[in-house]
Amino acid sequence: MPDVRCCNCQSEISEEDMLKQLDGILDDYKGINGALIPVLQIAQNMFGYLPEAVLKRISLILNKPYSEVAGVVSFYSFFSTVPRGKYLVRVCLGTACYVRGGKDVLDSFKKELKIDVGQTTEDKLFSLDVGRCFGACGLAPVIMVNDDVHQRVKTVKIGELLDAYRNKENETEKEAN
C-alpha cells in the first residue's frame, strides 16, 4: 500500500498536495479490475472522509460513472462523506447485542456525546455510528472505538469509557507541547 498521510495525524500537508498524491495513486490503479474499493479506502485514509471533489476525481481518473463511485460509498458503512472525529465509536446492534442492551448503550452514547448516529462532536473528537456484528456475540453488548473492542458494555460506564479517550487525547496534547 502506498505511503499516505492520515487527516488525524496533524500533518502539514495541504489539501492540494493530498490531491496530487491521490492522482499518483489513481494513476497506479487505472485499468485494474476491482480497484475502486481499495482506492476509496486509500482516499478516505488520506482525507479522513470522502468529499465530493475526491469522488469526482476518482470517477474521472478510473473512468467510472460518478453514480457507481457514489453508490459504492453510500452502500458500505465504512465510507463517510462527512468528516469524522478522531475516535469513531461504533455500537453493535446485531441481534445478540441488541437483545442484551445494545440499543440502551447507543442511547447512552447519544446522550453523553450530545450527537446522533452519523454525527461528530463539535470538538471533532468523537463520531457515532452503528455496526451490525463485530464477531463477539457471546460478549454482548459490544462497541468499537476505532480498532479497540469493548465487551459487555454497561450504560453506567459510558462516561468513564469516553473519559479514558478524552484523557488520552489530553496526554497526547501535553506531550506535543
Task: Quote the number of domains for the chain.
Answer: 2
Write down the pLDDT at residue 175: 77
Residue 78: count of CB within 10 angstroms of its CB:
13
Write down the pLDDT at residue 174: 74
Do 62 and 103 share a domain, yes or no? Answer: no
DSSP conformation class of 102: I
Do 91 and 169 share a domain, yes or no? Answer: yes
Range of the domain at 63: 7-75
Single pTM value for the model:
0.70
2 inside domain: no
8 A C-beta contact, residue 61 and residue 27: yes
Do 91 and 170 share a domain, yes or no? Answer: yes
Do 91 and 70 share a domain, yes or no? Answer: no
The upper half-sphere exposure of residue 24, i.e. CA atoms within 13 Å in the direction of its Cβ, equals 10
Do 94 and 70 share a domain, yes or no? Answer: no
Cα-only R_g, the chain: 18
DSSP conformation class of 147: T
Round to whole Å and give the CA distance between 54 and 32: 19
Do 101 and 169 share a domain, yes or no? Answer: yes
Query: Domain with 123 in it: what CATH number?
Result: 3.40.30.10
Give, for all 177 residues of the chain, the pLDDT tens digit. Answer: 344 444 444 446 788 888 889 999 999 999 899 999 999 999 998 888 999 999 999 999 999 999 999 999 999 878 989 888 999 999 999 999 999 999 999 999 999 999 999 899 999 999 999 998 889 999 999 999 998 999 999 999 999 999 999 998 877 777 776
82 inside domain: no
Strands (DSSP E) along the chain, which ranges? 87-92, 126-131, 143-145, 148-150
43 inside domain: yes
